[in-house]
Amino acid sequence: MTSTSLTLTGVDAVIADYNGVVGLQPTNAMWTRLADIAEWPSGQLDSFQDAFWAPRNEYDAGELSDLAYWAKVLGHHPSPRWLRTLRAADTAMWIRTDNRVLDILHRARQPGLPMVLLSNAPHFLSDVLDATDWRRELMTDALYSARLGLCKPDPAAYKHALAATGIDDPERVLFIDDREDNCQAAAELGLRTLHYTGQPAQLEAQLLRPRPAVAFRAPAYPRGTSR
């Protein structure tokens, strides 16, 4: 009889991005719904996305309020009720998670292994993510750009996350992100990096490896003895 299990591959801590790693990307239907709520001209989704992303870094860094951000996107200030609807639809686009990734992280999770979430996210989304079961159960800490006042790939963001792990040697810490520029910035600080491209096997190979199978052998008894 043989048995196999999984063991960590020389990692003392994990720093994981949210969107594109733990979190799933929004669907085209979600983008279309948000554009409709924003009363964007029909058939101009590309221009809406351009307007959405143009001030997003400032919003994620906490430099813009919800109202100021959406005023930049729309070109005018929305009413309070409209703003709440826009914010809710925006947030809903980013809260779906990849259960395959969560399963791997749960299997890798063990006492003494810090897992820190490092995400570019505005205040409202940060609060929503912090209230989720997976965030409370899996992550030892979560750092969001709006609370830090800076976004990846600013080196200071990684330094905050590394400090949150409690590990002094960055080479013993795995940083996971779906953006190559974020990984490059982390690597320049000495962190081990994984540019995640949506394949869970990538993550599993970095975090887990099968232990050698151990064959079960019945104990040997001297000839002529009873058991």
Domain spans of the chain, in order of start: 2-25+97-210, 28-92
Confidence tier at 3 by pLDDT (50, 70, 90): very low
Q: pLDDT tens digits, residue range 114-170?
A: 999 999 999 999 999 999 999 999 999 999 999 999 999 999 999 999 999 999 999
Q: Which residues contact 201 (CB under 8 A, 6 or more apart)?
A: none
Q: Is the pLDDT of residue 213 over 80?
A: no
CATH placement of domain 2-25+97-210: 3.40.50.1000
Element (H, E) at 117: strand 115-119
State how far the Cα of 100 lies from the Cα of 106, in Å rounded to an integer.
10
Confidence tier at 211 by pLDDT (50, 70, 90): very low
Segment 198-221 mean pLDDT: 67
Spell out the alpha helix ranges (H) of 93-169. 99-108, 123-130, 133-138, 145-148, 155-165
pLDDT of residue 115: 97
pTM of the model: 0.86
pLDDT of residue 79: 98
pLDDT > 90: what percent of the chain? 83
Segment 88-99 mean pLDDT: 97
State how far the Cα of 103 lies from the Cα of 94, in Å rounded to an integer.
19
The residue with greater pLDDT, 159 or 210, is 159
